[in-house]
A = this chain, B = another copy of it.
Amino acid sequence: MSPLLKEIRHNPMLWLLAFVPVVFVAAKLKPEAHTVLFVLSVLAIVPLAALLSHATESVAAKTGDAAGGLLNATLGNLTELVIALAALRAGQYVLVKASIAGAIVTNTLFVLGMSFLLGGLKHHVQEYNRVSARMQAGLLFLATVALMIPSAAGTAGAPEAAAFTQKLSVGLAVLLIVAYGLGMLFSLKTHRELFASAEHADEGEAPWPLGLALGTLVGVTVLVALVSEIFVESVQKAAEAFGMTPAFIGFIVVALVGGAAEMASAFSGARKNRLDLSVGIALGSASQIALFVAPVLVLLSYVIGPTPMDLYIWPGAVVMVLISTLTAALVTNNGRSAWFVGVLVLMVYLIFAMTLYLLPPRG
């Protein structure tokens, strides 16, 4: 257990692990203190997500390139997946969809923009692998088209329309997972030399032994799942107490909580002039959530949800996802960056966050 303890001692974010037992005790003693439980569960999820991310990378480093890439590509957003599964089981489909759309927007705008800004404040002009960025932007564009279609086509409230949206969503989910799988085949196997400079991304930290990594992976996933249930139960009531709209909570807060660990890696990569790493985390997470996590949730809803979930998303959220994808595509077009590019991207994020914050509850 020594590398794990060493890691905890060196990484202040992991000191928040103390909140994990606290949140369980609090949930037992005061199940109706929603605001307190919400804050405690947020504080507990952040360090667990960091551990999960480190464990996944360690297993990936041990299993070799292709299998490791596959593992990272499927488990890289395990925290988001587990939180969404808790909400799915509770039948909170609005929260699930808001957090999916929010995670895409947050990664493509906030993580990308902040990386450009933080990196640009230290380095005059930064370059990165545009082939990789363009491919992620292409995958995101495909997912955006898939998310637009049910909103554009299934407007009528008739039962016929609902059945159509449901069938369509399953078909779209399968197409997206196939596209994601072929994308991995392309970037990890047939054309991996084009994605070269992103390779040394994992150098940063010494990987854990395989046993510890696997144990952490399983144990922490269980903990995240338990804390997520408290989080999902408390989030609605807490939002009201804070005067926040549910849209703001789902879109902004959940996405920031679930992705905190990866953001830390992306920002530190940008400061070290390794923008390939930052862009890879930002756009890679976004496309993974859009093409893997979201479709898996649609398919899993047939097994674990109270009713099947479709891919229909509130049109305003579709517009935000579309604008985010276009912004990422325009901005990563030439593989160069300076601080003002980060400002532009962050400004788009601020516009969205402000709109969602001001939105009247039943607007």
Please report A residues at the B interface, Cβ cutoff 8 Å. Answer: 124-125, 134-135, 137-139, 141-142, 145-146, 148-149, 152-154, 156, 160-161, 164, 167-168, 171-172, 175, 178-179, 182-183, 186, 190-191, 194, 316, 319, 323, 326-327, 329-331, 333-334, 338-341, 343-344, 347-348, 350-352, 354-355, 358-360, 363
Supposing A344-B138, A360-B164 touch, asked if A145 and B339 sit within 8 A by C-beta, the answer is no
Residue ID in chain B nearest A324 by CB atoms: B145
**CB pair B175 A351 closer than 8 Å:** yes
- Assembled-state Cα–Cα distance A18/B358 (Å): 52
Given known contacts A351-B145, A351-B149, is B340 in contact with A183 (CB within 8 Å)?
yes
Contact at A179–B145, with CB atoms within 8 Å? no
CB atoms of A354 and B171 under 8 A apart: yes
A135, A142, A167, A327: most-surrounded residue (chain B CB, <10 A): A142
CA distance A190 to B358 in the complex (A): 34
Known: A171-B354, A175-B350, A351-B146. A363 touches B139 (CB 8 A): no
The answer on a CB contact under 8 Å between A168 and B358 is yes
A277 to B360, CA, bound (A): 45
- Given A172-B351, A330-B329, A191 and B338 contact (CB-CB distance below 8 Å): yes
Q: What residue in chain B is nearest A334 (Cβ atoms)?
A: B134
Residues of B with C-beta under 8 A to A359: 153, 164
B339/A168 in contact, CB under 8 A: no
Evaluate contact between B191 and A124: CB separation under 8 angstroms. Answer: yes
Extra contacts besides A145-B323, A145-B348 (16): CB < 8 Å: A142-B344, A142-B351, A149-B352, A152-B319, A153-B359, A164-B358, A164-B359, A164-B360, A164-B363, A168-B355, A175-B347, A175-B354, A182-B340, A186-B338, A190-B339, A191-B338
Are B142 and A347 in contact (CB-based, < 8 A)?
yes
Residues of B contacting A139 with CB < 8 Å? 344
Chain B residue contacts of A124, Cβ below 8 A: 191
* Residues of chain B lying within 8 A (CB to CB) of residue A347: 142, 175, 178-179
A344 & B190 in contact (Cβ 8 Å cutoff): no
A360: B residues at CB distance < 8 A: 160-161, 164
B residues near A358, Cβ cutoff 8 Å: 164, 167-168, 171
**23 residue pairs bridging A and B, Cβ less than 8 Å apart:** A124-B191, A125-B191, A134-B334, A141-B326, A142-B348, A142-B351, A146-B351, A148-B319, A149-B351, A153-B359, A153-B363, A156-B363, A161-B363, A164-B363, A168-B354, A171-B358, A172-B351, A175-B354, A178-B347, A186-B340, A190-B339, A191-B338, A333-B333
